[in-house]
Each structure stands twice: as structure tokens, then as C-alpha cells.
A and B are shown apart, each in its own frame.
Chain A
Amino acid sequence: KQEVTQIPAALSVPEGENLVLNCSFTDSAIYNLQWFRQDPGKGLTSLLLIQSSQREQTSGRLNASLDKSSGRSTLYIAASQPGDSATYLCATNDYKLSFGAGTTVTVRA
């Protein structure tokens, strides 16, 4: 059974600082890994998908890396803004998604 862990559970930074969110997983037999954002009381918004054949993926200020052999992914958010405050979830996909518990980010203005 896939186990996904996200560290840290919570993070508070001043505006402008770069964010580093970590995700680790136990089973490397995955198709891909997705990073999601969840705002309070809302559903999940897909941020980035990294295919198993890729090492990283970028979208705007977001960059995600994937190292399947070591079972790790990292989401980098550059120059954080208060609007980045949310919970970030990573999920491995081996036909169904297995989620970590998330990292709750607060960006202070």
C-alpha cells in the first residue's frame, strides 16, 4: 500500500520568501505525481502534474521535481504572496490517487 508523507505539516513565511514543500512516497511504481492546492471549504485545484518519465515541471512561479528512485517530490514556490496561503497536497497516481496529509501554508503580508 502506498504511503505518502508531507513535511512540514504547516509553514508560515513573510511575503516574498521562497517556499519549499516536501513529499515522500514508499512505492515508486507510479504513473505520475500531482500537486494540488486546497483553499478552506473548497475542492482541489490541480497545480502541476509530473510524469514518471520527467524530473521536473514548471508553471509560472511553481516548480516541482520528482525523484522516483528515492521516492521524493518537492514543490518550490518562488516569491510567495499572501494569495498563496492554502493547503498544498501531493498525490501519487498508480490508477488511483494516494494523498499526503498536506502542508498548510500561511504567507504573511
Chain B
Amino acid sequence: GAGVSQSPSNKVTEKGKDVELRCDPISGHTALYWYRQSLGQGLEFLIYFQGNSAPDKSGLPSDRFSAERTGGSVSTLTIQRTQQEDSAVYLCASSQLAVPRDSTEAFFGQGTRLTVV
């Protein structure tokens, strides 16, 4: 696609329910990232994929959070047993390792606004 696409754009869920957030990266981009932006807070790194593997998942806040990526393309972030503190905007970004490496640029989607009530 032309850009990074995320769905849904907005999600309201009840506390305790599971949610799935989807990210469709720019075609051909091998790197994919998930970030979280809470109200009034900066962007918090969650997880990094290179292809289908996740060499860095150090930012996942608890074991209720998981993510997968299939076919080197679409990624799904799953939050189980949602809590009110999970309310935030979840942003996805993708990039393609460039040559030289320091010209690698990341592009972001519009985000999914998650509200847990």
C-alpha cells in the first residue's frame, strides 16, 4: 500500500475483554514497530519485528500483551483482559533497511485509539 495502515482507527472495549489491533506496513518493509502513546505521555516502544521474528519485545508492559507478524507483512497486537490503564493510542511504524544504513527512515500509521471502559 501507499502508507502504513492501521485498523480499527478507534476501539472502545469493556474492561476484561481481549482486543486485536492490526498493522499493515508499507509493502516491502521488513522492519515493523509498535509504540504506545498515552494521554500526555511520550511514545513508548513496545516491540520490534524484523521479518516474522521479534528480536526485541522488551517494551511489552505485561504478559497480557503479545504480537505476531505473518508472511513478513501484517502484524497483530493482542491485549488480553484489558485494563483501563491500557487506554492509549497504539502506533505502528515500518521501515526498510537502506544502504547506507543511516538513511533508513521510519513511517508511521495513523494509530488506533483504544479506550477501555
Interface residues of A (CB under 8 A from B): 31-32, 34, 36, 41-46, 49, 51-53, 89, 91, 93, 95-102
Contacts and interface: CB of A to CB of B under 8 A. Distances in A.
Contact of A31 (B42, B102, B107): B102
24 contacts: A32-B103, A32-B104, A32-B105, A34-B106, A42-B111, A43-B91, A43-B110, A43-B111, A44-B93, A46-B108, A49-B103, A51-B103, A52-B102, A89-B42, A89-B43, A91-B43, A96-B33, A96-B48, A97-B45, A97-B106, A99-B35, A99-B42, A99-B43, A100-B42
Contacts of A52: 102
A96 B91 contact: no
Contacts of B107: 46
A1 to B, nearest CB: 10
Contacts of A31: 101-102, 104
Interface of B: 31, 33, 35, 41-43, 45, 48, 56, 91, 93, 100-111, 113
Given A43-B111, A46-B106, A100-B42, A51 B48 contact: no
B104 A93 contact: yes
A34 to B, nearest CB: 7
Contacts of A91: 43, 106
10 closest pairs, A vs B, by CB?
A43-B110, A51-B102, A44-B108, A99-B43, A101-B42, A31-B102, A52-B102, A32-B102, A43-B108, A43-B111
Contacts, number: 61
Which label, helix, strand, loop or mixed, suits the secondary structure of the A interface? strand
A41 to B, nearest CB: 8
B103 A44 contact: no
Contacts of B100: 51, 53
Contacts of A51: 100, 102-103
A44 B106 CA distance: 10
Contacts of A100: 42
Given A43-B111, A95-B48, A49 B105 contact: yes
A95 B93 CA distance: 12
